[in-house]
A and B are shown apart, each in its own frame.
Chain A
Amino acid sequence: MTAIAPAAPVRAKRVLPGFGLTMGVTLTYVGVIVLLPVIALVLKGAEIGPERFVQIITAPRTRAALQLTLVAATMATIFNALYGLLMAWVLVRYDFPGKRLLDALMDVPFALPTAVAGLALTALFAGNGWYGALLQPLGIEVVYTIWGVALAMSFTSIPFVVRSVQPVLEDLDPQYEEAAVTLGAHRWTIFYRVILPAILPAWLVGITLSFARSLGEFGAVVFIAGNLPMKTEIASLLAFIRLEEYDYNGAAAIALVLLFIALVLLVASNLLQARAMRYKGKGA
């Protein structure tokens, strides 16, 4: 039998070697550090049983905590999305004295221990604090209200938006804007038809990360929130309290809900990003 030897499949050569090794390390890391705890949590949750799970989640105190967390995180994220974009814009597009300092300050919320941030914010916004003293006569209470919760969340997560948008904005070729100008477009038109589409994927990443971080923020929030059950108690604190009461199921159920929301959000964000980047196309 004279079979014609099939031509050896041509394998695209990779530019850099070591794919196997780097991929292996990455997968191991993701598995051990990220995936395993998540799986453990899910398994733990599965032990609870659906009936008990629903019971825990729908208990008034849990529901109030989850609601507060979600609403405050949404408030914080909306603020961060807008203010973070503005910050990134200012840092990239304008030159002014103190720009480097402002740029460095942007990282403070990440660098600062969250407890310190929480204490500082509480001191500032308490009735006798610098800001609190100004706001109180206006009837605005921040400390021990949802505003305080949102404030702490916003403070600790704003760098996500700034730092994701900033590099993309920096790399944006000014030629696109110049082309738009010669075609008669004015500032706002250029911003939303040329610049915004280019930074949208990065902005979405920043917003998602900011929201996810806000959902889970603990250290900064517990200082300013007052933690009144049913009123200003956030979900992660409630999970912590359950754990202290040796109510592992209660803690796991709340954690699972938070995990679920974060996952849904990540998926949604990825879909949106893919949509925003569809022009990068097959050819690119």
Chain B
Amino acid sequence: MSLSIANMTRRFGQTEVLRGIDLDIGKGELVALLGPSGSGKTTLLRIIAGLDWPDAGSLAVDGQDWLGRTAQARRTGFVFQHYALFPHMKVRDNIAFGLTVLPRSQRPPSAQIEARVRELLHFLQIDALADRYPSELSGGQRQRVALGRALAISPRLLLLDEPFGALDAQVRRDLRRWLRGVHEASGTTTIFVTHDQEEAFELADRVVVMGAGRIEQIGHPDEIYDHPASAFVARFVGLTVELPVTMHQGRAEAPGIDLTALPRRAMADGPATLFLRPSDIAVRPDPEGCFRVAEIVSTGALLRLQLTGPDGCGIEAEMPRRRIAGLETGQPVLLRPEAGRIFPAAPRSDQPATPAPLPAFKEQRL
């Protein structure tokens, strides 16, 4: 099932939560909605499911308008952030719920429902838990039951709100691989929300980066990782080191930093900001260097360096431990970024704005 969202806005009182979302998702795609807390991911997902309605904009599925349909009629499989399993029902009844509430004319015979539940329990690898109550399950098991309950109605669109949010790292990794399998086996179109970059990149065909109610970038994980489209995305995907540079004939220049490894860019001369991953900065001891090592912390595999620049600014660099021997605190060093993104040093409007009403937007709505 393909999905098309155009120009969608949603506000709660004075807070603009969605500020014009345009998004097309193809049949059978697995898409991640990635963004910081409060960026409107859940709101968008709820609108798609029919649990909330936008103030403006359109939502079409397979070419048909969906905003006029009730949530019941849409029959999306929705997995809630905190699972929302019915506490008074056993696992098997939770999973069967979507089938047992069908109008009598459409409801499969109970033997068939039972068979479907058994099949799902087996598929989810929780056969043994069928007669337990949700309060008697672990987080990962609840997660599976929640997914089973959503899959029972054979939804053509599966929506997951931070499905692995409450789980530990190991379980998350296992479930991720498993969810990919579920997605492929069931052939549904799947949208999942996360604020974990690694999760989004590992699992999704395409990643939609959201910031403050807007889509900042849509693309393949590698594309977003290598070519963040805005300063916001750059920060969000881990380019956390920001250095002021000056553009001169397509090259970035900054005192004490060797920027020759970066390709030329078609940018106007003038001040700009260079965004770097800590791991993309090579550090070389050099008596002429104007950065100093303030602190060295080992994480085992990596050394994390705190460096102080000429104007007192601090930046972080990271490298495999064995690559640099004999680095000491207080030592002057030269920096040589090996990759990075440059954006014009605009007034920082690209930052995740605090959700305040935009005057221009107000006029448009009146």
Please give the residue numbers on chain A whose beta carbons come within 8 Å of chain B beta carbons, in ascending order: 173, 175-176, 178-186, 189, 193-194, 197-198, 276, 279-284
Instruction: Give A276 to B86 CA distance when docked, in angstroms.
Output: 14
12 contacts between A and B (CB under 8 A): A178-B71, A178-B78, A178-B80, A179-B84, A179-B86, A181-B50, A184-B102, A185-B72, A197-B86, A197-B88, A276-B88, A279-B87
B116 → chain A closest CB, angstroms: 14
Report B92-107 CB contacts with A as 1/0, cut-off 8 Å. Answer: 0000011001100000
Smallest CB separation, A189 vs chain B (Å):
5
Q: Taking the nearest CB of chain A, how far is it from the CB of B80, in angstroms?
A: 6
Contact in complex: A184, B51 (CB < 8 Å): no
Measured between beta carbons, the chain B residues less than 8 angstroms from A194 are 86
Chain B: number of interface residues, binned into ranges: 20 to 34
Question: Which one of B76, B102, B136 contacts A182 once the chains associate, using CB atoms below 8 Å?
Answer: B76
Q: Give A178 to B161 CA distance when docked, in angstroms.
A: 13
Is B86 touching A176 in the complex (CB atoms < 8 A)?
Answer: yes
Question: B100's closest neighbor in chain A, by CB?
Answer: A193
The residues of A that contact B101 with a CB separation of less than 8 Å are 180, 183-186, 189, 193
* Given the contacts A178-B51, A283-B135, A185 and B84 also touching, CB distance less than 8 Å: no
Q: Establish whether residues A280 and B135, one from each chain, have CB atoms under 8 Å apart when the complex forms.
A: yes
B113: chain A residues at CB < 8 Å are none
Known A-B contacts A173-B84, A189-B101, A279-B89; A182 and B135 likewise in contact (beta carbons under 8 Å): no
**Chain A contacts for B70, CB-based, 8 A:** 181
Q: Taking CB as reference atom, which chain A residue is nearest B135? A: A284
Distance A175 CA – B86 CA, assembled complex (angstroms): 10
Task: Provide the bound-state CA to CA distance between A178 and B86, in Å.
Answer: 11
Chain B contacts with A in 147-187, Cβ cutoff 8 A: 149-150, 153
Give Cα distance in the complex from A180 to B101, angstroms.
Answer: 9
CB distance from B153 to the nearest CB of A (A): 6
Which one of B51, B82, B135 lies within 8 Å of A281 (CB-CB)? B135
Kindly name the residue among A175, A176, A184, A189 whose own CB sees the greatest number of chain B CB atoms within 10 A. Answer: A184
The residues of B that contact A193 with a CB separation of less than 8 Å are 97, 101
Q: Is the CB of B135 within 8 A of A183?
A: no
B163 to chain A, nearest CB (A): 14
B51 proximity list for chain A (CB < 8 A): 178, 181-182
- The answer to whether A281 and B72 touch (CB under 8 A), given A184-B98, A185-B101, A194-B86, is no
Task: Please state if A179 and B88 are interface contacts (CB–CB under 8 Å).
Answer: no
Which residues in A have their C-beta under 8 angstroms from that of B76? 182
User: Cα distance A100–B153 when bound, in Å?
Assistant: 42
B323 CB, nearest partner CB in chain A, Å: 49
CA distance A280 to B86 in the complex (A): 11
Q: Could you tell me the distance in whole angstroms from the C-beta of B126 to the nearest C-beta in chain A?
A: 15
Q: Which A residue sits closest to B72, measured CB to CB? A: A184
Residues of A within 8 A of B137 (CB): 283
Instruction: Check if A279 sits within 8 Å of B135, measured CB to CB.
Output: yes
The verdict on A181 contacting B135 (CB below 8 Å), with A175-B80, A197-B88, A279-B87 known, is no
Question: In the complex, what residues of B have CB within 8 A of residue A180's CB?
Answer: 86, 97, 101
B11 within 8 A of A: no
Count: A-B pairs, CB below 8 Å: 83
Query: Could you tell me if B77 and A182 are in contact, using CB atoms closer than 8 angstroms?
Result: yes
Contact A182 B87 (CB under 8 A): no
| Inter-chain contacts of B86 with A (CB < 8 A) | 176, 179-180, 194, 197
For A194, the closest partner residue in chain B by CB is B86
Known: A183-B97, A280-B87. 19 other contacts (CB 8 A): A178-B78, A179-B80, A181-B70, A182-B74, A182-B75, A182-B77, A182-B78, A183-B98, A184-B98, A184-B102, A185-B72, A189-B101, A197-B86, A279-B87, A279-B90, A279-B135, A281-B135, A283-B136, A284-B135
Q: Complex formed: what's the CA distance from A174 to B97 in Å?
A: 17
Contact, CB under 8 Å: A279 / B80: no
- Across the interface, which residues of B come within 8 angstroms of A185, CB to CB? 72, 97, 101
B133 close to A (CB within 8 Å):
yes
Is B49 in the interface zone, CB < 8 Å from A? Answer: yes
> Are B149's CB and A183's CB within 8 A?
yes
Give the Cβ gap from B332 to chain A, nearest Cβ, in Å: 55
Instruction: Give the distance in Å from the alpha carbon of A1 to the alpha carbon of B150 in the complex.
Output: 66
Residue interface bits B50-76, CB-to-A below 8 A is 1, else 0: 110000000000000000001110111
How far does the Cβ of A192 sit from chain B's closest Cβ, in whole Å? 11
Quick check: A184 and B133 within 8 Å, CB to CB? no
Q: Which residue of B lies closest to A184 (CB)?
A: B72
Do A181 and B89 touch (CB < 8 A)? no
Cross-chain contact B84 with A281 (CB below 8 angstroms): no
A246 to B149, CA, bound (A): 68
Known: A184-B72, A184-B102. A279 touches B84 (CB 8 A): no
- Interface pair B136/A282, CB less than 8 Å apart: yes
Q: Taking CB as reference atom, which chain B residue is nearest A277? A: B88
The CA-CA distance from A107 to B188 in the complex, in Å, is: 53
Taking CB atoms, residues of chain B closer than 8 Å to A280 are: 87, 133, 135
Known contacts A175-B84, A279-B88, A279-B89: A182-B71 contact under CB 8 Å: yes
A183-B153 contact given A173-B84, A175-B80, CB 8 Å threshold = yes
In the complex, chain A residues whose CB is within 8 Å of the CB of B150:
182-183
6 smallest A-B Cβ distances: which pairs? A183-B98, A284-B135, A175-B84, A283-B136, A182-B78, A185-B101
- Cβ-defined contact, B135 with A186, below 8 A: no
Q: CB-CB < 8 A to B88: which residues of A? A: 197-198, 276, 279
Q: Do A184 and B87 touch (CB < 8 A)?
A: no
Task: Pick the residue among A181, A198, A283 that contacts B72 (CB under 8 A).
Answer: A181
Chain B residues with CB below 8 A from A178, complex form: 51, 71, 78, 80, 84
Are A182 and B50 closer than 8 Å at their CB atoms? yes
Residue of A nearest to B46 (CB): A178
Please, which residues of chain B bring their CB within 8 A of the CB of A282? 136
| Bound-state Cα–Cα, A175 to B82, Å | 9
Rounded to whole angstroms, the CA-CA distance of A282 and B133 in the bound complex is 10
Whole-angstrom CA separation of A198 from B87 in the bound complex? 8
Chain A residues contacting B89 (CB-CB under 8 Å) are 279
